């Protein structure tokens, strides 16, 4: 007994046959009713028209009595119409005037016959008299079989029967397949699938869609009628490289579907459907629309890529700033802080490996007269060219430094005193050969070596400085080394001490101040409060400029360290007070003022140098006496270093911006210092300080300094790393610190962005926003840093430094 399926197919075939017969009957009826043109009638009409045309042209030739043209005209017509076999023009009496082809063989009509489809004649009249006839014989039909095989009606009928038969057979078979009760899906199953939040599709073994729930229909934008029976592969899936061939049997596969201008992404999980006997019957697949998640992922990837580029640019800027932070902006030589760090390291290496180590002090002769007589611009040019000469003469491994004003210092590792003297002499000669308009420049040099008895880096510098004094006293433009100096010179004061013997604070056997320990404390202060650290560095620059030439090199070093650490006690001040963006209350000021005591305790614990401790302890002592603290010294009993630091501290506080006020001009600061001279400040030191600042133009920019821009860049780098690690605690802490730094620096754009980051740090859904804000921060930071890396002086310093690699070789602790 045939199966239900075969029965259905048989019925489909019979119905298709009946439909084909119906179409055939319709075509036949249309042909009988002349709705479809008969090709034979059209052919006969065409032959008649051709015959009439030839007859007309022949009649004209006859009337003109031109038999020669008649022959040509008929010949041309036969050639024009290939279906004409023969042609003949006769007179009424039967005389042949013109004949083309074997006319007698193809002409079958006799007198009185009518024209046939193959033989057609047309009479020619001259007036009302029949003059003759034109006889044309056409190609004969090729037989009934050939005629029928090319008959349009037969061909149309065959084509219609074949095509419609196949179409009806396919369509009815498909329709009956889904009408098969054995394949129907119960309504409650359909309803259940329609409640799913994912798209669900049931496929047969040929990947044809048997069932699609409502969610899937919405996802692909098609109706149930459009989907059922379709192969699922016909949907416009966007295959990616690596997509498996058996994707409809794979779990966790991402597929993209293009719908017009919109592309949707689905996470596909498929499972095979088995019959009761374990045979595969099809597949059920779920489609989870992850388009929004995928867009976020792509947006995140794009943001991360942009952030990576921004971070690379920021890292480059940071390296440039780190390099510039180690250099004197005018000459490109190392600055004092970096020089002391390297000096301390080289000192330890020399002692550990028993290597020689020498030092040179270099001073431009009569430099004050250059500024006075030729102007500061010429003075700057002299310093630049002298510095360039020293750097050119430096050997590999030598460390040139601008020590202060017109003084330079050079450290010579692995060099004894004899080698140091040779290098010094070459430098002296090179400087002497420099040419300036209406000006000659020379330099005096002093040198010493570790083998000549120095017990500390500061003592080695002091020996070289004393040799420099001897060189100047001996007529300048010469080199004096420590082994050439008479023995009693070691007991004399240096150049600065002889200038003002009452101001000497040299203390015998004072403890060494290791510079790495100083930089470690400054780094800790920078991490705690970048603004205070930047302020301390500026105060140190001002204090060194004031002390140079007034006290010994050794004492200048102690004053510089004291200036760097004068606010170190702020490490112990609570954040809510230290980082407060507005004025402090009286009670908060009392807490803040305790930082002086904390600072003294830190310095005492870290260093055993009493000179340094006294400067930090007494730098707030008032020159005219402190009524609120009667135990503090006054007048000249205050250490000179403390008097210098308090003036530099006050000046920088006046000219620097604060969140709650703008900084005042240098001229206003000078007025304030002079107003308080005698009561709070040493009057002579105030005038010296003002003169030094004006003559050397040593007025550092407020918080928008290179160190500050560098701190911003480093903090943003750390913040980006914390976001990469999704460390919300670090993000909040770093954002708060960055917010404070920006607030103190007067950069509200960075401050507000940092505040937003701190507020959304705990929200995992805001990762893309966090990355975008960090990208904006990097852009703003680059703008701030650009100010400091694109000045003419800084470009000159950075020129020729590939990748700013030199910065990486110098320990930067600022």
CA distance 25 to 40: 21
Q: Are 280 and 206 in contact (CB under 8 A)?
A: no
More confident residue, 598 or 489: 598
| Secondary structure (H, E, C), 490-520 | HHCCCHHHHHCHHHCCCCCCCCCCCHHHHHH
Q: What is the pLDDT of residue 755?
A: 81
Q: What is the DSSP string of 156-221?
A: HHHHHHHHHHHHHHHHHHHHHHHT-GGGPPPHHHHHHHHT-SSEEEEEETT-BEEEE-HHHHHHHT
Residue 484 burial (10 A CB sphere; 0-12, 13-18, 19+): middle
CA distance 22 to 15: 11
Residue 805 burial (10 A CB sphere; 0-12, 13-18, 19+): exposed
For domain 185-291, give the CATH superfamily. Answer: PAS domain (3.30.450.20)
With a CB cutoff of 8 Å and minimum separation 6, the contacts of 394 are 400, 410
Q: Which helix (H) or strand (E) covers residue 119, if one does?
A: strand 119-126
Residue 619 burial (10 A CB sphere; 0-12, 13-18, 19+): buried
CA distance 345 to 327: 18
CA distance 424 to 432: 12
With a CB cutoff of 8 Å and minimum separation 6, the contacts of 565 are 518, 521, 522, 536, 599, 602, 603, 612, 616
pLDDT one-digit tens code per residue, 549-592? 788 878 888 998 999 999 888 887 776 666 666 677 777 777 66
Q: Are 580 and 532 in contact (CB under 8 A)?
A: no
Q: What is the pLDDT of residue 374?
A: 87
pLDDT one-digit tens code per residue, 679-722? 999 999 999 999 888 876 544 444 345 666 667 777 777 777 77
Q: What is the DSSP string of 370-425?
A: HHHHH-HHHHHHHHHHHHHHHHHHPPTT-EEEEEETTEEEEEEET--HHHHHHHHH
Q: Are 444 and 478 in contact (CB under 8 A)?
A: yes
Banded pLDDT at 478 (limits 50, 70, 90)? very high
Examine the pLDDT at 86 and tell me if it is beyond 80. yes
Q: Are 386 and 375 in contact (CB under 8 A)?
A: no
Percent of the chain with pLDDT over 70: 76
Average pLDDT, the chain: 78
Query: For 126-133, what is the mean pLDDT?
Result: 77
Query: For 171-197, what is the mean pLDDT?
Result: 65
Where do the H-state alpha helices sit in 91-143? 103-106
- Angle in degrees, CA 664, 591, 739, rounded to 5: 60
Banded pLDDT at 479 (limits 50, 70, 90)? very high
**Residues forming a β-bridge with 401:** 334, 409
More confident residue, 733 or 362: 362
Structure token pair of residue 98: 């013109």
Residue 660 burial (10 A CB sphere; 0-12, 13-18, 19+): exposed
Structure token pair of residue 318: 């940071």
- Reference 622, options 679, 677, 674; nearest CA is 679
pLDDT one-digit tens code per residue, 365-388? 998 888 888 888 898 899 999 999
Residue with tokens 């120095």: 454
User: Distances in Å between the alpha carbon of 12 and those of 64, 169, 235, 418, 499?
Assistant: 74, 6, 28, 116, 123
Banded pLDDT at 510 (limits 50, 70, 90)? low
CATH of 356-492, picked from 3.40.50.720, 3.30.70.260, 3.40.50.620, 3.30.70.270, is: 3.30.70.270
- Largest separation between any pair of C-alpha atoms in the chain: 166
Query: For 152-156, what is the mean pLDDT?
Result: 67
Examine the pLDDT at 10 and tell me if it is beyond 60. no
CATH 1.10.3210.10 fits 515-655+664-701, yes or no: yes
Task: Please give the backbone phi and psi of residue 431, each rounded to the nearest 5 degrees, phi first.
Answer: -65, -40
Residue with tokens 């510089």: 560
Most confident range (mean pLDDT) of 104-118, 405-419, 488-502 is 405-419
Examine the pLDDT at 762 and tell me if it is beyond 60. yes
CA distance 395 to 399: 9
Structure token pair of residue 9: 């197919």
Total residue length of the chain = 814
CA distance 538 to 698: 10
More confident residue, 617 or 165: 617
Q: What is the pLDDT of residue 448?
A: 94
Examine the pLDDT at 139 and tell me if it is beyond 50. yes
CA distance 558 to 563: 9
Q: What is the pLDDT of residue 495?
A: 43
pLDDT one-digit tens code per residue, 632-660? 899 999 999 999 999 999 999 898 876 66
Q: What is the pLDDT of residue 6?
A: 44
Examine the pLDDT at 676 and tell me if it is beyond 90. yes
Examine the pLDDT at 182 and tell me if it is beyond 50. no
CATH 3.30.450.20 fits 39-140, yes or no: yes
Q: Are 232 and 203 in contact (CB under 8 A)?
A: yes
Q: What is the pLDDT of residue 489?
A: 56
Residue with tokens 């043209």: 69
């Amino acid at each position: 007994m045939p199966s239900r399926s075969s029965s259905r197919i048989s019925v489909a075939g019979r119905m298709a046959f009946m439909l084909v017969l119906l179409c055939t009957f319709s075509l036949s009826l249309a042909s009988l009713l002349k709705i479809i043109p008969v090709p034979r009638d059209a052919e006969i009409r065409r032959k008649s028209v051709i015959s009439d045309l030839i007859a007309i042209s022949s009649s004209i030739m006859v009337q003109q009595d031109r038999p020669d043209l008649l022959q040509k005209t008929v010949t041309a017509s036969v050639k024009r119409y290939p279906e004409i076999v023969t042609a003949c023009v006769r007179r009424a009496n039967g005389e042949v005037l013109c004949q083309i082809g074997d006319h007698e063989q193809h002409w079958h009509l006799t007198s009185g016959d009518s024209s046939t489809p193959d033989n057609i004649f047309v009479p020619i009249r001259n007036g009302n008299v029949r003059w003759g006839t034109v006889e044309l014989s056409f190609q004969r039909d090729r037989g009934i079989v050939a005629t029928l095989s090319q008959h349009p009606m037969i061909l149309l009928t065959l084509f219609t029967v074949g095509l419609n038969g196949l179409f009806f057979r396919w369509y009815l078979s498909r329709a009956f397949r889904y009408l098969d009760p054995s394949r129907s899906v119960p309504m409650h199953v359909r309803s259940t699938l329609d409640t799913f939040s994912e798209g669900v599709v049931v496929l047969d073994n040929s990947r044809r869609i048997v069932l699609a729930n409502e969610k899937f229909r919405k996802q692909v934008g098609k109706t149930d009628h459009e989907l059922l029976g379709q192969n699922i592969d016909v949907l416009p899936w966007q295959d990616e490289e690596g997509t498996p061939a058996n994707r409809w049997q794979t779990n966790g596969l991402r597929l993209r579907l293009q719908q017009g201008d919109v592309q949707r992404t689905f996470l596909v999980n498929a499972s095979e459907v088995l019959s009761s006997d374990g045979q595969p019957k099809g597949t059920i697949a779920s489609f989870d629309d992850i388009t929004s998640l995928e867009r976020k992922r792509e947006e995140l990837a794009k943001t991360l890529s942009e952030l990576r580029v921004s971070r690379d640019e920021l890292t480059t800027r940071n390296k440039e700033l780190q390099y510039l932070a180690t250099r004197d902006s005018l000459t490109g030589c190392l600055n004092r802080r970096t020089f002391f760090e390297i000096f301390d390291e080289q000192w330890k290496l020399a002692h550990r490996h028993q290597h020689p180590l020498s030092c040179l002090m270099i001073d431009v002769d009569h430099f004050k007269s250059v500024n006075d007589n030729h102007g500061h611009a010429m003075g700057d040019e002299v310093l630049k060219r002298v510095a360039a000469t020293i750097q050119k003469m430096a050997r590999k491994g030598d460390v040139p430094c601008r020590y202060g004003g017109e003084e330079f210092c050079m450290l010579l590792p692995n060099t004894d005193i004899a080698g140091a003297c040779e290098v010094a002499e070459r430098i002296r000669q090179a400087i002497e050969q420099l040419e300036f308009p209406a000006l000659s420049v020379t330099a005096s040099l002093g040198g010493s070596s570790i083998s000549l008895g120095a017990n500390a880096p500061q003592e080695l510098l002091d020996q070289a400085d004393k040799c420099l004094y001897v060189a100047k006293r001996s007529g300048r433009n010469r080199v004096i080394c420590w082994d050439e100096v008479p023995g009693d010179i070691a007991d004399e004061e240096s150049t600065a001490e002889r200038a003002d013997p009452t101001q000497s604070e040299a203390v015998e056997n004072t403890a060494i101040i290791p510079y790495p320990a100083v930089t470690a404390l400054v780094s800790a202060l920078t991490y705690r409060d970048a603004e205070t650290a930047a302020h301390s560095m500026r105060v140190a620059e001002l204090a060194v400029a004031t002390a140079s030439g007034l006290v010994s090199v050794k004492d200048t070093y102690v004053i510089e360290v004291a200036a760097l650490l004068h606010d170190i006690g702020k490490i112990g001040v609570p954040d809510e007070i230290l980082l407060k963006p507005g004025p402090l209350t009286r009670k908060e000021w009392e807490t803040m003022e305790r930082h002086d005591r904390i600072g003294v305790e830190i310095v005492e614990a870290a260093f055993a140098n009493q000179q340094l401790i006294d400067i930090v302890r007494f730098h707030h002592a008032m020159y005219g006496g402190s009524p609120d603290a009667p135990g503090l010294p006054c007048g000249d009993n205050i250490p000179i270093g403390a008097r210098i630091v308090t003036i530099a501290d006050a000046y920088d506080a006046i000219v620097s911006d604060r969140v709650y006020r703008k900084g005042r001009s240098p001229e206003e600061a000078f007025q304030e210092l002079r107003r308080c001279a005698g009561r709070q400040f040493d009057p002579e030191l105030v005038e010296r300080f003002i003169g030094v600042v004006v003559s050397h133009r040593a007025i550092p920019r407020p918080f928008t300094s290179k160190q500050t821009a560098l701190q911003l860049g480093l903090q943003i780098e750390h913040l980006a790393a914390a976001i990469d690690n999704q460390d919300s605690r670090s993000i909040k802490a770093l954002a708060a610190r960055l917010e404070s730094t920006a607030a103190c620096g007067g950069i509200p754009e960075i401050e507000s962005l940092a505040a937003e980051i701190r507020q959304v740090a705990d929200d995992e859904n805001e990762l893309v926003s966090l990355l975008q804000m960090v990208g904006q921060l990097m852009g703003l930071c680059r703008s701030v840093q650009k100010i400091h890396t694109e000045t003419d002086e800084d470009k000159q310093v950075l020129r020729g430094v590939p990748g700013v690699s030199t910065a990486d070789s110098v320990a930067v602790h600022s």
